[in-house]
Amino acid sequence: MQSAHEGRGFGKDRVNLLIDLGNSRLKWAQQDDGLWRTGAALLEAENMAPLLDRVWAEMTAPRQVIVCSVAAARRLQTVEQWLRARWSIAPRIVHSQARQLDVTNGYREPEQLGADRWAALIGARGLTRLAACVVDCGTAVTVDALSSSGVFLGGVIFPGLRLLRGSLVQGTQAIKTVEGNSVDCLARSTADGVAAGTLFGLAGAVERLINEYRRTLGDTTQVLLTGGDAPLLAPRLSVAFAPVPDLVLRGLARIADSL
């Protein structure tokens, strides 16, 4: 899916181009004072260059490019090569650090934290000074705890919907399809059972983790929900949350403003 904003020029002023390169989707934002335009595209082909030619065809040269990537190295390399060939710009690649801006990384080895999780935490800190639970529903689901003082206390990683459903097809003989209806957990077909079971199960796991985190973070903890599958998960959650679909990009914007 692509947003209505993609592929347009945005005037003569040079803006920041923020790129979130994931396992299954490319997301970006053009950012400057008073400007926030986003776009997204699915990563379906191995060769990304034609996709970039299409979605960024009319984009004007940015002031700087900030990239967060958890994709295969070859895909990041393609983006870097495209940016150099098109605009003669070398992007700044975001890596997790022990501390950046007002966020402290509590990982035993800070550099091992995924760059997307790090950017999301920085984005969350820009949205609230309360403790936060960041739920990112992508190819993998991450649930991370951020204290009110800006310390990342830790988090978990587990398979997202596509991986959960795909594993059932690959690991069993009887399940051949997962294209079912996820509305009712009292499913009356195998496909519906897989679709509903994985979605309700994912929602239950997320809620359990939020409740566990609140024992440490406190009852005022804000839950921020992001990621490509967040709209599917949101109706199944019984806890209060704030949807922030571009949270990683918001973090990249804060990083760009600090450079």
Which 3 state secondary structure label does DSSP give 257? helix
**Does residue 180 register a pLDDT over 80?**
no
Spell out the domains of the chain, with CATH numbers in brackets: 16-93 (3.30.420.40), 99-247 (3.30.420.40)
- Cβ(134)–Cβ(152) below 8 Å: no
Which 3 state secondary structure label does DSSP give 145? strand
- Cβ(70)–Cβ(116) below 8 Å: yes
Handedness of CA 258, 136, 124, 146 (dihedral sign): negative
Strand partners, 36: 31
Each residue of 58-74: pLDDT tens digit? 899 999 999 999 999 99
Determine the pLDDT at residue 140: 93
What does each C-alpha distance from 72 to 21, 53, 135, 155, 227 come to in angstroms?
9, 20, 23, 23, 18
Residue tagged active-site, from 20, 32, 116, 229: 116
The continuous run of DSSP H or E covering 85 comes out as helix 73-87
Known catalytic residue at 116: yes
Strands (DSSP E) contained in 188-234 are 222-226
Q: Find the mean pLDDT for residues 175-188.
A: 72
Determine the pLDDT at residue 59: 92
What confidence category does residue 3 fall into, taking pLDDT thresholds of 50, 70 and 90? very low
Which 3 state secondary structure label does DSSP give 181? coil
Each residue of 234-253: pLDDT tens digit? 999 999 999 999 999 999 99
Main-chain phi, psi angles of 171, to 5 degrees: -100, 0
